[in-house]
Structure 1
Amino acid sequence: MLLDYKNDYEKISMGLLSFVPDLKDVSRLQDEMDWYQSKEDHKLYLWKSEDTQDIIAVIGVEIGNDMVLLRHISINPSFRNEGISYKILASLERRFPQKKIMGTLETASLIAKWENKKYEQHSLETDEKGED
């Protein structure tokens, strides 16, 4: 479940963001946290596991007129390779249905894989229904 960032989540957010290679340095990490909190169109969201009810991931986005730019995504290493990033992106897409989800140089490949998976799934569902 995608949760809006609150100040109560600062430590967990910083802990998760510290897994991002560019944000290992504490002062750089604090600058990034400040950046996300400085403007209305910069947002952090946290992901709560449906199984454990723990916060296991964080994403940072920049919201534009017709797009949402995924700047950061960080998942607790214990929960990686379980498809959580795709669930997070699907939830983000539901939250901003009129906007295109885009990626930075660091996140663009994840977005492309997610888009391909969505396309394949849609094609499978269409084939099963006998539609063209």
Structure 2
Amino acid sequence: MLIKSRQDDEKMVMGLFSLLPGLKEIAHLNVELAEYQKPSRTLYVWQENPQSQIQGLLGVEQINPELLLVRHIILTPGVRSQEHYFQMLDNLQRLNQDSFIMGSLATQKLVQHWRQTPS
């Protein structure tokens, strides 16, 4: 389930972002986190069920009312699977039923595969 990230999730969000190769340095990480302070961007944390810990992060940008761009999609190594990535994207689509979801250069292959795979 996807939940909008809160201020008290900051340490977990930083830890998840640090799983990405380009965001291991704190300066780069802080720049990326600052981008999600913009009104057009949203960070969601993901957990498989309400009793589990946060296991993933989804960063999106609302380009316009009909277009949502997935900028980051991250899962912890223990739950990293196509099924869980697809669950995150399914949840995002349910939250944004009127928006077309597309990927950035880094996420496009995954988003396209999700779109082409029958539910």
Normalised by the shorter chain, which TM-score bucket? Answer: over 0.9
CA distance in 1, matches of 2:31, 2:20: 14
Structure of higher RCO (CA pairs closer than 8 Å, 6+ residues apart): 2
User: How does the TM-score come out when normalised to structure 1?
Assistant: 0.85
Q: Name the SS for the 1:43 alignment partner.
A: strand
> In the alignment, residue 28 of structure 1 is paired with which amino acid?
H
Cα shift readout 1:42-85 (whole Å, capped 9, x = no counterpart): 11000012185110000111012211100011100011125111
CA distance in 2, matches of 1:35, 1:2: 20
Q: Name the SS for the 1:40 alignment partner.
A: coil
Identify if the C-alpha distance between structure 1 residues 77 and 53 changes in structure 2 by more than 3 Å, giving closer, same or farther.
same
Alignment partner, residue 98 of structure 2: 98
User: How does the TM-score come out when normalised to structure 2?
Assistant: 0.93
**What aligned pairs does 1:100-119 form with structure 2 within 5 A after superposition?**
100-118=100-118
RMSD of aligned C-alpha atoms? 1.3
What are structure 2's unaligned runs of at least 5 residues? none
What are structure 1's unaligned runs of at least 5 residues? 122-132
Alignment partner, residue 129 of structure 1: none
CA distance in 1, matches of 2:80, 2:47: 14
Which structure has greater helix proportion? 1
Instruction: Count matched residues.
Output: 118
Q: Tell me the CA shift for residue 31 of structure 1.
A: 0.9
**Displacement over 2 Å in runs of 4+:** none
Max Rg structure: 1
